[in-house]
Each structure stands twice: as C-alpha cells, then as structure tokens.
Amino acid sequence: MIEAVVFDLDGVLIQTEEIWDEVRGDYIVRMGGRYDEAAQRAMMGMSSTEWSAYLAEDLGVPRTAEQVNADVVELMAASYREHLPLIEGAAEAVERLAARWPLGVASSSNRPLIDLVLELSGLARFFHATVSSEEVAGGKPAPDVYVEACRRLGVAPTRAAAVEDSHAGIGSAKAAGMRVIAIPNPAFPPGEDALADADLVLPSLAGLTVEAVDN
C-alpha cells in the first residue's frame, strides 16, 4: 500500500529542462567554456555540486565550482521570477494526490530554486518534505535524494511512489525501492531501458490520479 508520493520537480511540475540548458549553455559560452549536446546530457540529474564542478573542471569555465553554482542559481531565479513555466495540469495533480497522501519533492535543483518554485506556484502548502540533491551524498541516478525524502516523510521507500520524467530520475527512484511512475519529458525523453524500469508510464499529468498511483 502506498503511504506517500514524492515528485521530481524539473520536467514533472515545471518545464525547466530547456531553461537549465539555455541558462547553463549561455553562461558556459560567455565564460569561454565548451558546451555541446554531450555536456547537456551529462548534466541531467546531476546535483548542483556535481554540475558546478563539471563546468569548472571539465567544461573550462574559469571560476570555482562555488562561484559557478551561485552564478547559475541567480540566473535561474531571475528567469523563474519573470515567468514560471508550470506544466499544464501540475497544480491539479498535486492537489488531487495531496488529498490522499503526504507529498514530498526530491529534486536535483538547488534548495533556493525549489523553495522559489513552490512559492511562486502556490504549491508549497501541499508538500510536507522537500529535498535537494545538494543536501545528500549523491545526485540522481543514486537513490540518496529519494531515500532522504521518504525519511523526512516518515515512510519506507518501498511504501512510497515517485513521479519522474528523466532517465536518471527513474533510475534513482527505482534504486530507492519505490513504485515509479514515469511521465516522459518530450524534450529530453528517457531511454526505453529506463521506461522499462518504471512501474507505470503515463502520457501526461492528467492521468496522475489516486487510482493510478495506488494500482
């Protein structure tokens, strides 16, 4: 029996993978670094500490990882304040599931960005626990962020469901032992091998109902 539901953020509730791609790409190029499709895919699921180090050490950005992190977070926050790209049906799906279970967030986004998104969207009141992968040892596909979200919710991962969109995220939730519901991000779809690991694949948030989660 499911006792809690944990959402990913980027690509599930807000359509920000493209914004992350654009912001980091522009920043890397402006700083004289190297950016290509391989670099973009490599960063999907990385925690902020991981991608910041990657930019500084592997992509040639002449700043410390801490400086890179602060710069990019500031740029992302400015973009969110100008326009928050909430995915259609996100608020309704969260409210539906919050009426049945305690909810959490397990995200690769930085803590300030998680808090800002939930504040701007008006969804903060529905979530009992939120975890950034910068607060745990390993980013997705490691299970750490989901394990910690379940711990804060007071449930075993095997009694919780995760809602994910990405290859790394599906792997993370599966490794944690959770029921995995995949809603593939059309811009950056997970591979067929990742989707095969999901317990349920839905085309959109419209299908994310209490019945779908519980079955």
Which CATH number among 1.10.3720.10, 1.10.540.10, 3.40.50.1000, 3.30.110.30 corresponds to the domain 4-15+86-214? 3.40.50.1000
What's CA 195's distance to the chain center, in Å? 16
Averaged confidence pLDDT in the chain: 95
Whole-model pTM: value is 0.91
Those residues whose C-beta lies under 8 Å from the C-beta of residue 187, and which sit 6 or more positions away, are 11, 15, 17, 18
pLDDT value at 43 more than 80 = yes
Q: How many whole angstroms separate alpha carbon 208 and alpha carbon 110?
A: 26
Q: Of 35, 38, 8, which Cα lies nearest the Cα of 23?
A: 35
Class of residue 78 by CB neighbours under 10 A (exposed 0-12, middle 13-18, buried 19+): exposed
Count the neighbouring beta carbons within 10 Å of the beta carbon of residue 53. Answer: 17
Predicted pLDDT of residue 215: 81
Using left for φ > 0, alpha for ψ between -120 and 50, and beta otherwise, residue 87 falls in beta
Using a pLDDT cut of 90, give the percent of the chain over it: 85
Contact 161, 5 (CB under 8 A): yes
Classify residue 6 by burial, with Cβ atoms within 10 Å: 0-12, 13-18, 19+. Answer: buried
Tokens of 34: 């190297």
Q: How far is C-alpha 73 from the chain's CA centre? A: 15
Residues of the chain with pLDDT > 70: what percent?
Answer: 100
Predicted confidence at residue 135, as pLDDT, reads 95
Name residue 99's amino acid: A
Domain limits, the chain: 4-15+86-214, 17-82
pLDDT tens per residue, range 83-110:
999 999 999 999 999 999 999 999 999 9
Domain 17-82 listed as CATH 1.10.150: yes
Predicted confidence (pLDDT) at residue 159 exceeds the cutoff of 80: yes
